[in-house]
Chains A and B, each alone.
Chain A
Amino acid sequence: MSAPSFEKPATAAAPVLEVEDLRVDLRTPRGTAHVVNGLSYTVGPGETVAVVGESGSGKSVSVLALLGLLPARTATVTGRALLQGEDLLTMAPERLRQVRGPGAGMVFQDPMTSLNPVLTVGRQLTEGLRAHGPVSKAAARARAVELLGEVGLPDPGRAVGRYPHELSGGMRQRVVIAMALANSPALLIADEATTALDVTVQAQILDLVERLQSEHGTGVIWITHDLGVVAGIADRVLVMYGGRCVEDGTVDDVLERPVHPYTRGLLGALPDLAADPDEDLATIAGTPPAPTDLPAGCVFWPRCPVRGDARCETEQPPLAVVGRGGAGLPHRAATWCAEREAS
């Protein structure tokens, strides 16, 4: 294990997004919640990075923080987040508004949170287009029809005149994706974007995102709790627990050769369509730590079935390289147990 060159991704192109030591504290009635605790990752052009974790792991907050979507009165965000070289965290609010859209589009779990129920789909799309550049009404409308066709809405010429409630959940999510992609952003952030959808509709949306991504070279951050979705869509995976990244690497490394006991537990807990159902599922005992009261040492140790090291309970393990992944990308894990295995 002596190859520091792993640290730099092999892809030559400049990353779309570089996040460095991102930390988010939220003030709550029960004290300060340390929701994100030192997160660093990069997203390259055309690359999909999946951020996985269970509820309370800080996965959603970590991206809301990037786009300044957390309440300023209660949230403290530190670190750096360079979107095409510009730091999102120190950006003036006016500039940040301009960046959302052309710079980074967002898709949330519930499409209705992004759609205005009293405006037609076309109106919402053209407004987004015209807000970020001088576009004539007619041109914007033509582009809206084109976008709706691109995301697979049947009869886009008529669909522009429809209201969100007239569309099914899957179709609404397509419209939201069209809105997010309207200004050809360099980065697309999807937060549990297919969680509320049926599997067959989810399959349609995943296909769509993959196709659009390869056409436009968009970098994608895909936040989900569903490891199956991750396997299908991600290039790289970042597993979050207790506001920290506990393991990251290529999708094959993390899902097929997981190192961190939490990642292993998560995968073991999944019922598998192909596996022998006669065995009980592996479970992770206990519940995730409250972000107001994180354990000292490794965040996972109170629930960890291994606890293979004296330092588990006292010293926080660094995110260390545990192996060489495909394309020379590092596979890293923040656990004291991994070193023992590697050596």
Chain B
Amino acid sequence: MTAPGEGAPDVLVSARGLEVHFPIRSGGALRRTTGALRAVDGVDLDVYRGETLGLVGESGCGKSTLGNALLRLVPPTGGTVTFDGLDVTGMGRRQLRELRRRAGMVFQDPFASLDPRRTVAQTVSEPLEVHGLHPGRQARVARVRELLELVGLDPAVAARYPHEFSGGQRQRVGIARALAGEPDFLVCDEAIASLDVSVQAQVLNLLRRLQRQLGLTLLFISHDLSAVRHVSDRIAVMYLGRVVEVGPAAAVAAAPQMPYTRALLSAVPLPHPELERSRQRIVLRGDVPSPSRVPSGCRFRTRCPDVFEPCPDVDPALQPVGSAPGHVAACHLHGVVGTPVDGSGSTPAASGPPGATASGVRGTG
């Protein structure tokens, strides 16, 4: 299921104009709202059924909040999310519970995501109890055994407490819990970030195997581009609350079309000394702006090496780029498309980028 190529792809999860803004309150008794932290700020994203979508970005870009908002674990403040055609934002109690069964989450820190006072069996069987699956003690015990085996753990460990396990083993327990309700969709939020390299590989292999074996749809959120490239069919890149580039994994990794993606990729250290010596790194200027003070127009313009005149004035929309089908990026280098900052409505290409062609391979080596 790695090729959502022919025809219209089957969309499982979809976000349109999704926003998660956290109010910034002043101190003191009155707690006036003085601004908003725009963690997720107008995201359009589709996750196709059966694919692994990698979501990359640096800390604070909102990728984790987006993952939580898709499952309504963080309430969106604007836009819509649909899951298998159902409106997630408007779901009632019962529907929401069914969503929780059909969509699971694997968390970053396996030392924090398991209740220290509950055994592995209690943790893994919680979704079964919540959703009334496999009723009866015997059936649940059998199901827990099955789940533990599925993630590569000895079922005999069911009666043990989390502190007896290593990080990798705990992460397997976390995955078993997420799979207990037989979900269609799994969000892995930095699921390998706190594991050692050799253990990361074990968990990555496990996730890929489970994805294929169970026909799961996976959203793999990570700051580690190499890991994302390894597991993903498609990659989405986030910057400052917005998805700025999406496309087939190979295309995004080999021919990134947005300057930020290019800088990000060039900064990934590769374990090949000769390659590292010859490689030209794009070192970005300065820091990521605060999500409470998002620049006007293109939000990457303050650090972009290719910035030109429409960038501050037009908020770029995702548009088809490159040669691979389904490869889109929000960048004026490919033609100025988007919402003017002062007015409303879309502008067709007002002016071309200076100098170079729209293919966007200017002066970045």
Any A CB within 8 A of the CB of B281: yes
**Given A232-B269, A252-B274, A270 contacting B283 (CB threshold 8 A):** no
| Distance between Cα atoms of A226 and B225 in the complex (Å) | 13
Q: Please tell me which one of the listed residues A170, A171, A274, A287 contacts residue B270 in the complex, with CB atoms under 8 A apart.
A: A274
Contact A200 B284, beta carbon cutoff 8 Å? yes
Any B CB within 8 A of the CB of A293: no
B contact residues, range: 35 or more
Contact A203 B267, beta carbon cutoff 8 Å? yes
Most buried by A among B208, B224, B230: B230
Any A CB within 8 A of the CB of B273: yes
- What is the CB-to-nearest-CB distance from A98 to chain B, in angstroms, rounded to a whole number? 35
Any B CB within 8 A of the CB of A225: yes
Any A CB within 8 A of the CB of B175: no
Any A CB within 8 A of the CB of B253: yes
Q: Which residues of B contact A273 (CB under 8 A)?
A: 225-226, 229, 253, 265, 268, 270
| Distance between Cα atoms of A268 and B224 in the complex (Å) | 16
Q: Please tell me which one of the listed residues A225, A232, A281 contacts residue B205 in the complex, with CB atoms under 8 A apart.
A: A281
Q: Which residues of B contact A55 (CB under 8 A)?
A: 196
Contact B269 A270, beta carbon cutoff 8 Å? no
Any A CB within 8 A of the CB of B87: no
Interface SS of chain B:
helix
Q: Mark B269-306, 1 if CB is under 8 A from A, else 0.
A: 11111111000010110111000000000000000000
Q: Which residues of A contact B168 (CB under 8 A)?
A: 287
Q: Which of B149-183 contact A (CB under 8 A)?
A: 166, 168
Q: Which residues of B contact A68 (CB under 8 A)?
A: none
Cross-chain pair count, CB within 8 angstroms: 127
Q: Mark B194-208, 1 if CB is under 8 A from A, else 0.
A: 001111111011001
Q: Which residues of B contact A127 (CB under 8 A)?
A: none
**Given A198-B58, A203-B281, A283 contacting B268 (CB threshold 8 A):** no
Q: Please tell me which one of the listed residues B59, B201, B204 contacts residue A198 in the complex, with CB atoms under 8 A apart.
A: B59
User: Which partner residue on chain B sits nearest A265 by CB separation?
Assistant: B198
Contact B249 A271, beta carbon cutoff 8 Å? no
- What is the CB-to-nearest-CB distance from B45 to chain A, in angstroms, rounded to a whole number? 21
Contact A207 B281, beta carbon cutoff 8 Å? yes
Any B CB within 8 A of the CB of A255: yes
A contact residues, range: 35 or more
User: Which partner residue on chain A sits nearest B229 by CB separation?
Assistant: A273
Any A CB within 8 A of the CB of B231: yes
Q: Which residues of A contact B231 (CB under 8 A)?
A: 271, 277
Q: Which residues of B contact A256 (CB under 8 A)?
A: 272-274
Any A CB within 8 A of the CB of B242: no
**Given A54-B196, A203-B281, A281-B201, A227 contacting B268 (CB threshold 8 A):** no
Contact B264 A270, beta carbon cutoff 8 Å? no
Any B CB within 8 A of the CB of A83: no
Q: Which residues of A contact B283 (CB under 8 A)?
A: 200, 203-204, 207
**Given A255-B273, A256-B272, A269 contacting B198 (CB threshold 8 A):** yes
Contact A277 B229, beta carbon cutoff 8 Å? yes
- What is the CB-to-nearest-CB distance from A8 to chain B, in angstroms, rounded to a whole number? 23
Q: Which of A230-268 contact B (CB under 8 A)?
A: 230-232, 234, 251-252, 255-256, 265-268
| Distance between Cα atoms of A64 and B154 in the complex (Å) | 38
Q: Please tell me which one of the listed residues A228, A230, A267 contacts residue B268 in the complex, with CB atoms under 8 A apart.
A: A228
Contact B226 A270, beta carbon cutoff 8 Å? yes
Q: Which residues of A contact B202 (CB under 8 A)?
A: 283
Q: Which residues of A contact B197 (CB under 8 A)?
A: 54, 225, 227, 266, 269-270
Any B CB within 8 A of the CB of A343: no
Any A CB within 8 A of the CB of B223: yes
Any B CB within 8 A of the CB of A142: no
User: Which partner residue on chain A sits nearest B260 by CB separation?
Assistant: A200
- What is the CB-to-nearest-CB distance from B89 to chain A, in angstroms, rounded to a whole number? 31
Q: Which residues of A contact B (CB under 8 A)?
A: 54-55, 154, 168, 170-171, 198-204, 206-207, 225-232, 234, 251-252, 255-256, 265-274, 277, 280-284, 287
Q: Which residues of B contact A (CB under 8 A)?
A: 58-59, 166, 168, 196-202, 204-205, 208-209, 223-227, 229-231, 249, 253, 263-276, 281, 283-284, 286-288
- The contact sample of 9 A-B pairs, CB cut-off 8 A, is A55-B196, A199-B269, A207-B281, A232-B269, A271-B201, A272-B271, A281-B204, A283-B198, A287-B168
